[in-house]
Structure 1
Amino acid sequence: MLSLVAIIPSAPLLVPELAGPAAADTEPVRTAVRDAGARLATAASRWIVVGATDGSVPAARYRSTGGFGAYGVPLEVDLRSDLGGDVGAGPGEPLPLSMLVAAWLREQSQSRAASTVSVTPVLIDPSASPEECAATGRELATTIAAAGESIGVLVVADGATALTPGAPGGGERPSAVALQGRIDAALCAADVTALGGLTESECAAEGAAGRAAWQVLAGLCAATDMVGESLYADAPFGVGYTVAVWTPARQHLAGDPA
């Protein structure tokens, strides 16, 4: 049974050790992400994590452990737990950024919720078509519905990269700002139709690399009424970072926090 969905960015700056002098500036998004993770860990001890691969590396070739050394700090993280949930065993490619961030949040959330979280990673090619993403989401929905336990879903994805004058996507572009506004609205309102309607071309043009992961989520929740809650939506460094929580409407109406 689907118990909760948490949506977070795949930003290295979420990790305080990597944020450096910008740690204070990024504390609001970090706090929102930690809160989302704690709520997810409280709602379910098993997570399905949806995030993009790095480039064209097949999902099965990634290791289960990794570190943020490529981002300046040799901080090691691990997707594994006593309950399982490996990406793969033995030698392989380093974990993609989406799964590094998920592993970091898993460790943070376990300590806050005083529970052990098992992770099942679902890696999606960032260039996957909307139809492929929707199909993956529907398959996950079937798996979750058949499970005899509560399952939480964590989606790790970034928005547009041209939202401020100093943004990494080439400075501020009105088209990127408009697209990010639509993305934020859809994520914070649990609008699966709007997410499914994002096009490959517009997202690629504005650097919104999270499209595929969001469209997997849209497919997963297409047949379930969800209630969205915004925890954060801003662009501290010109990149769209959205943190939101989706609760199944049946639980929301019943007043169940899970």
Structure 2
Amino acid sequence: MLVAAAVCPCPPLLVPEVAAGAAPELDAARAACDEAVGAVLAAGPDLVWVIGEGPATGPHRPGSRGSFHPFGVDLDVHLGAPAEHAVEATLPSSLAVGAWLLTRAGWAGEARGYEVAPGSPASGNVDVGERLADGRTGKERVGFLVMGDGTACRTLKAPGYLDERAEDVDARIAQALRTLDADGYLRSLDDRLARELKISGRGAWQMLTGGRRKDHGAARLLYEDAPYGVGYFVASWT
């Protein structure tokens, strides 16, 4: 069963070596991520799934490698302990940032990744989240590290330029994360809207809602802001 989940943004700039001189601008987000990931590890999971958007949909095995070389930094990360033999860097950037957060937190247990492609059907995302949480890997206690950003259209200089809808959508995402998606907003978040507002967290958040047990739980929204015109959220679900 899912014992705890952390929701974190996934910009490579979260990694100080990538951000370089701009690293202090995300210090608050980084600290919130540390707190959320720490809460997952404190719950004693046997396995942590790192979930985030990428070009394809499917799992990544323990030891899979991600690299920040495309961002000009000689830094590799792995899902848990590195594989015994050299492996190709296959993790998309969202999962690479998640792997970096786990390593930063000192996680020495098993970690697996699940990559979800943009446009994946909501019902399928929810079903996958339920399967990942139900212990079919033989692990009874499962943690989720869910990586994704909100809208990228909050300002004129944002990656997607300014869209007047973005602020309201991000507010609804924040409220959903604060309330364990009580109103089902994340679960039903429209793919077309997500594409128009360049939301990268849709599929991963929907998987989270599938993994959560409906009869109990608590949520905390630890961070909400839009640096660089992109909606970033950090939440802890336990």
TM superposition score normalised by structure 2: 0.89
- Structure 2 match to 1:189: 179
Matches of 2:93 and 2:44, distance apart in 1:
23
2:108 is equivalent to residue 104 of structure 1: no
Aligned to 2:51: 50
> Match of 2:67?
67
Structure 1: runs of 5+ lacking an equivalent: 248-258
Q: Distance in 1 between matches of 2:15 and 2:123?
A: 33
Give the CA deviation at 1:151: 2.1
How far apart are the structure 2 equivalents of 1:144 and 1:245?
A: 24
2:112 corresponding residue in structure 1: 120
Residue 221 of structure 1: aligned partner: 212
Change (3 A) 1:199 1:6: same
Q: Does 1:206 align with 2:202?
A: no
From the superposition, tell whether residues 199 and 30 of structure 1 become closer, same or farther in structure 2 (CA, over 3 Å): same
The change in CA–CA distance for 1:222 and 1:207 in structure 2 (over 3 A counts) is farther
Structure ranking higher in helix proportion: 1
Q: In the alignment, which residue of structure 1 is the partner of 2:163?
A: 173
Aligned residues: 236
| Contact kept in structure 1, 2:68 and 2:74, CA below 8 Å | yes
Write the distance in 2 (CA, Å) between the matches of 1:222 and 1:137. Answer: 11
Q: Is the 8 A contact 1:63 1:95 kept in 2?
A: no
Amino acid at match of 1:39: A
Q: Give the alignment partner of residue 234 of structure 2, picking from 231, 236, 243.
A: 243
Report deviation, 1:209. Answer: 1.5
Q: Which amino acid aligns with 2:16?
A: P
Q: In the alignment, is the contact (CA less than 8 A) between 1:62 and 1:95 conserved in 2?
A: no
SS at match of 1:49: strand
Q: Displacement of 1:130 after TM fit?
A: 0.6
Give the match's secondary structure for 1:127: coil
Match of residue 250 from structure 1? none
Distance 1:70 1:230 in 2: 31
Task: Tell me what 2:27 maps to.
Answer: 27
Please give the alpha-carbon distance, in whole angstroms, between the structure 2 residues aligned to 1:76 and 1:116.
Answer: 16
The whole-number CA distance in structure 2 between the counterparts of 1:223 and 1:105 is 27
Q: Give the unaligned 5+ runs of structure 2.
A: none
- What secondary structure sits across from 1:174 in the alignment? coil
Cα distance, 1:91 vs structure 2: 5.0
State the 1:48 CA deviation. 1.5
Question: Does the CA-based 8 Å contact 1:63-1:93 persist in structure 2?
Answer: no
Q: Deviations over 1:196-251 (max 9, x none)?
A: 1211111111000110111111111263432210110111111111000011xxxx
Is 1:135 aligned to 2:127, yes or no? yes
Tell me the residue number matched to 1:254. Answer: none
Change in Cα spacing, 1:198 to 1:50, as seen in structure 2 (3 Å) is same
Query: Normalising by the residue count of structure 1, what TM-score does the alignment of the two structures yield?
Result: 0.82
Give the CA RMSD over aligned residues.
Answer: 2.6
Deviation at 1:97, TM superposition (A): 0.7
CA distance in structure 1 between the partners assigned to 2:137 and 2:61 by the alignment: 28
Is the 2:154–2:226 Cα contact (8 Å) retained in structure 1? yes
